[in-house]
A = this chain, B = another copy of it.
């Protein structure tokens, strides 16, 4: 299988850097082909802007969605965006690995999502009408592929538990797992979260690797998070609220799990 690892950490000699190297080795030894997008090493351009369309007229108003659509359709996207889209098409599984900074992904990775997720590629796909609100949330260009987050954080696990002060880790990651990965079609596996990173010294490193290694070995057999598909009948259209008879009276992220 083909695995794309999108990785964002500024220091190769960090825990994240070591885990990235370990993951590549583990996957390759299992016979997979691995591509790495090391965003810091690539000096990835984080800002979505008018330069992302190589053919746009300088004197016109820049519209992020419209320009993205035109560039995608006309084949005038910036070459760095094209390369990443090709990697996504090639991949059977995509891993996003990053340190949790301020309860989300690093800016550089967010900028990868914003620029690579073009209109027509990751959104604006399929019919958009009052009866079908696009091929998204379980359908789309990346359907049939698997995705998983590998996340490190300095905080304790208890701080991210259901009653922890930071909020439950599954809720913190919902905008990424549901909004960025499930949206264009990925089957999203439960995240692999590594807590309290300052305590991970050389002695503890093999244990951390063993846990990650197991997740990588299970990449094709792990059951995805059962997010509800938008177009499978669970939602009213075009309001896109969950039908009242499903999870009746409840609200919040968890009602979007079936």
Contacts and interface: CB of A to CB of B under 8 A. Distances in A.
Interface of A: 10-11, 13-14, 40, 46-50, 61-65, 99, 101-108, 110-111, 113-114, 117, 137, 154, 156, 158-159, 161-168, 171-172, 174-176, 178-180, 183, 230, 235, 238-242, 250-256
Given A40-B49, A165-B240, A171 B252 contact: yes
11 contacts: A40-B49, A47-B106, A48-B107, A107-B108, A158-B240, A162-B252, A163-B242, A163-B250, A167-B256, A172-B179, A252-B252
Q: Closest 3 CB pairs between A and B? A: A107-B111, A162-B251, A46-B46
Nearest to A167: B253
A165 B256 contact: yes
Contacts of A241: 158-159, 161, 163-165
Contacts of A156: 238-240
A174 B167 contact: yes
B11 A61 contact: yes
Given A50-B10, A156-B240, A240-B164, A114 B110 contact: no
Contacts of A252: 162, 167-168, 171, 252, 254
Given A102-B117, A171-B253, A241-B163, A13 B61 contact: yes
A80 B208 CA distance: 37
A35 to B, nearest CB: 21
Given A64-B99, A171-B171, 10 more contacts: A10-B48, A10-B49, A11-B61, A11-B63, A14-B63, A65-B154, A104-B104, A156-B238, A165-B240, A167-B178
A256 B171 CA distance: 13
Given A46-B47, A158-B239, A167-B252, A110 B117 contact: no
